[in-house]
Amino acid sequence: MRKALEISNLKKVYKGGFEALKGINLTVEEGDFFALLGPNGAGKSTTIGVITSLVNKTSGSVEVFGENIDTDLEAAKTYLGLVPQEFNFNQFESLTKILVNQAGYYGVDRATAHQRAEKYLKQLELWDKRNDAGRMLSGGMKRRLMIARALMHEPKILILDEPTAGVDIELRRSMWDFLRELNQQGITIILTTHYLEEAEMLCRNIAIIDKGIIVKNTDMKSLLATLTVETFVLDIDPVEEGKLSLDLGPYVNRLVNNHTLEVDVEKTQTINPVFSQLSALNINVTSMRNKSNRLEELFVNLIESNQNSTGEK
């Protein structure tokens, strides 16, 4: 498997001295669906900015499919498609013109560009709006337009900086399906997102960045396996008021109210005995869910531990 992206000891110090990246190392394999997560200001967008040449790096190296951005920037750019966080298309141009012009910047002739524009506008359900100006679109449509624009030169790597921010859940799910399809076609996808459920559902590998440092870089399964305790919320038949917990043997639990129970299940335990115990107590379970997303718990733990190690309160 080729390396789609290789970042070595990348540093970025902005004017004024803010150190956004403190020597990060990152490798993304070809065909991967990779998540780059981190809190606001962690360095995600700066990293993407350097890769796509919108931000000048201070030191370090970036290679895209073996092309170094210092020596072969134009070759490296041909591999990359960027969906930025902010809307950055011409608000007064029609959707078709935005897409066709973008393809032209990559040397795609106008006839081919028109065919691709039609294909992606249809796939992303924007075809009816093709002659409208960009400013007439809703937020979700604008995000889809930027995805279509990033695909016009058929890049091998698609970088999406929070592509589903502000997008309703139905649309978000259809975008997930579209991104999965692209990944299955062989496009390497690098995603930053605030929706940790999104990263967990879509991505195979993950890096967590905080204060310009990569605090974790592993595959999603290994990361989730490090979670030692998972908390489930069970909606149950009403029990006696005033009780703080139920007798569930080894399972630590709390009654949030007389019909909602939180149960901690350790990694070494299974959940079946919880139901057996509740049945024995003549308590029916009507529904069950995770208290929080599994990745979210790990993410919070990693960020907190990084903040403790850097001495931040």
Partner 1 sequence: MSSSVNFIALKSILHKEVHRFMRIWVQTLVPPAITISLYFVIFGSLIGSRIGEMGGFDYMSFIVPGLIMMSVITNSYSNVASSFFSAKWQRNVEEMLVAPVPNWVIVAGYVGGGMARGMLVGLIVTLVSLLFVDIQIHNIWVIIATVCLTSATFALGGLINAVFAGSFDDISIIPTFILTPLTYLGGVFYSISLLPEFWQGVSQINPIVYMVNAFRYGFLGISDVSLTIAFSVLGVFIVTLFTIAMTLISKGIGLRS
Binding residues (CB under 8 A) for partner 1: these are: 14, 46, 49, 52-56, 73-75, 77-78, 80, 82, 84, 86, 88-93, 97, 100-109, 149, 153
Which CA distances in Å does 271 have to 59, 102, 224, 234, 275? Answer: 50, 53, 17, 12, 7
Start-end of H helices in 220-271? 220-225
Q: Which is nearer to partner 1, 7 or 76 (CB)?
A: 76
Q: Which is nearer to partner 1, 105 or 309 (CB)?
A: 105
Give the residue among 231, 229, 233 at the shortest CA–CA distance from 285. 233
Minimum distance between the CB of residue 135 and partner 1, rounded to whole angstroms? Answer: 10
Q: Quote the tokens at residue 120.
A: 């992606």
Place of tokens 């990293």: 47
Q: Which is nearer to partner 1, 152 or 265 (CB)?
A: 152
Minimum distance between the CB of residue 157 and partner 1, rounded to whole angstroms? Answer: 12
Minimum distance between the CB of residue 125 and partner 1, rounded to whole angstroms? Answer: 22
Dist CA 293 CA 296 (whole Å): 5
Minimum distance between the CB of residue 52 and partner 1, rounded to whole angstroms? Answer: 5
Q: Which is nearer to partner 1, 29 or 93 (CB)?
A: 93
Minimum distance between the CB of residue 56 and partner 1, rounded to whole angstroms? Answer: 5
- The neighbouring-strand residues paired with 190 are 34, 159
Minimum distance between the CB of residue 105 and partner 1, rounded to whole angstroms? Answer: 4
Minimum distance between the CB of residue 88 and partner 1, rounded to whole angstroms? Answer: 4
Q: Which is nearer to partner 1, 86 or 170 (CB)?
A: 86
Q: Which is nearer to partner 1, 88 or 184 (CB)?
A: 88
Q: Which is nearer to partner 1, 12 or 211 (CB)?
A: 12
Dist CA 239 CA 254 (whole Å): 13
Which CA distances in Å does 58 have to 16, 234, 247, 303? Answer: 13, 51, 59, 25
Start-end of H helices in the chain? 44-51, 73-79, 95-105, 110-123, 139-151, 169-184, 196-202, 220-225, 272-280, 294-309
Q: What angle separates helix 139-151 from helix 110-123, to the nearest 10 degrees?
A: 140
Q: Which is nearer to partner 1, 16 or 242 (CB)?
A: 16
Q: Quote the tokens at residue 14.
A: 């902005």
Which CA distances in Å does 264 have to 148, 226, 267? Answer: 44, 15, 10
Minimum distance between the CB of residue 114 and partner 1, rounded to whole angstroms? Answer: 13
Dist CA 167 CA 194 (whole Å): 12
- The neighbouring-strand residues paired with 232 are 263, 290
Give the residue among 47, 50, 79 at the shortest CA–CA distance from 65. 79
